[in-house]
Chains A and B, each alone.
Chain A
Amino acid sequence: MRWFWIDRFEEFVSGTYAVSVKTVSLGEEPVFDYSPGFTYYPASLIVEGLAQTGGLLIAQPSDFKKRVVLAKITKSKFHFEAYPGDVLRFRTEVVSMQDNGGIATCTVHVGDRLLCEADLTFAYLDDRFEGVQLFEPDTFCRTLRCLRLFEVGVDQQGNPISIPQHMLDAEIADVERSRSRNVPAG
């Protein structure tokens, strides 16, 4: 099972706010298995979707070099349940960026109905976690492309944000590794 709890970004303004969407499907394991006979989308995964939307928003200004983790759900309030077929619209807004993390205030809507309100605190992994890599850079870059982050992402002046060079380098290195593996011996 892939740990993606958003399908794609629709808006992304560097250091400011991001909007992503997720369609709930009956085909997803957690939807079908979580509550047999009464299928709904678990609230914990809604928070995870917000964490992915907000975490990437908070990591992007550092070209995704800062290792961002969800540290605390300061507040979360759910008004109804989401069902298969619902399209969830996640909005996260940065309200504080500090040198050890950031805080985002978040909402989730289904159509024009407010499903969830939450405040999330994100932390940067510090020196105590030296050498800990959360994602392989090439895989991470591929994921961000799949989420269309670079297609919709803009900086605060409205200019498109570019894919960080260290990620492109990692992708190229990965392609070269694959090629060298596929070259027949002799």
Chain B
Amino acid sequence: MPNKDEVFEKVREALVDALGVDDEEVTPDATMVGDLGAESIDFLDIVFKLEKAFDIQIPRDELFPDDILTNAEYVQDGKVTPEGLAKLKERMPFADLTKFEQDPLVQNFGNLLTVQDLCNYVGTKVGVQG
């Protein structure tokens, strides 16, 4: 069972490889889209590399809950409703949604995930040690 540092190193390696960024750019706080320049298609590659590196399966809706963000029940006037936010938190316990909650525009969601969120997610899959 890997520890947190080992998870981070493997995630960093996958991101460096998939996005062509430098090692030092991949910090825990870096956002995948804004800071590391990931485009939607890069996530396909990132998911593949993480699945391979950690020998896990990553269903798309776990990392990207598009079904919530496109559901009229949870989105009004382009903003995620309180019910939608509750649903997102339930679905994405690994992600820090604090910043997003302040201005929950759907268009802001794309730049939500950080490297740390990704590490947390992988951690839940592999049962990471403290």
Contacts and interface: CB of A to CB of B under 8 A. Distances in A.
Contacts of B56: none
B60 interface: yes
Contacts of A139: none
A20 interface: no
23 contacts: A71-B41, A71-B44, A72-B41, A72-B42, A72-B45, A74-B17, A74-B45, A95-B48, A96-B44, A96-B48, A98-B44, A98-B47, A98-B60, A99-B60, A100-B44, A100-B60, A103-B44, A103-B45, A103-B48, A121-B44, A121-B45, A123-B41, A123-B44
A69 B98 CA distance: 37
A101 interface: yes
A144 B44 CA distance: 27
A99 B57 CA distance: 13
A87 B73 CA distance: 58
Contacts of A98: 44, 47-48, 60
B49 to A, nearest CB: 9
Interface string A92-127: 000110111111000000000000000001010000
Interface string B21-54: 0000000000000000000011011011001000
B128 interface: no
Contacts of B92: none
A74 B59 CA distance: 22
B105 interface: no
Given A101-B44, A103-B45, 12 more contacts: A71-B41, A71-B44, A72-B42, A74-B17, A74-B18, A74-B45, A98-B60, A100-B44, A102-B44, A121-B41, A121-B45, A123-B44
Contacts of A71: 41, 44
Nearest to A103: B48
B contacts with A: majority SS: helix
Interface residues of A, number: 13
Contacts of A103: 44-45, 48
Contacts of B42: 72
Contacts of B47: 96, 98
Contacts of A101: 41, 44
A99 B62 CA distance: 13
Contacts of B60: 98-100
Contacts of A123: 41, 44
Contacts of A100: 44, 60
A100 B47 CA distance: 12
- Listed from nearest, the 9 A-B pairs whose CB atoms lie closest are A96-B48, A71-B41, A101-B44, A103-B48, A121-B45, A123-B41, A72-B41, A99-B60, A74-B45
A44 B103 CA distance: 44
Contacts of B45: 72, 74, 103, 121
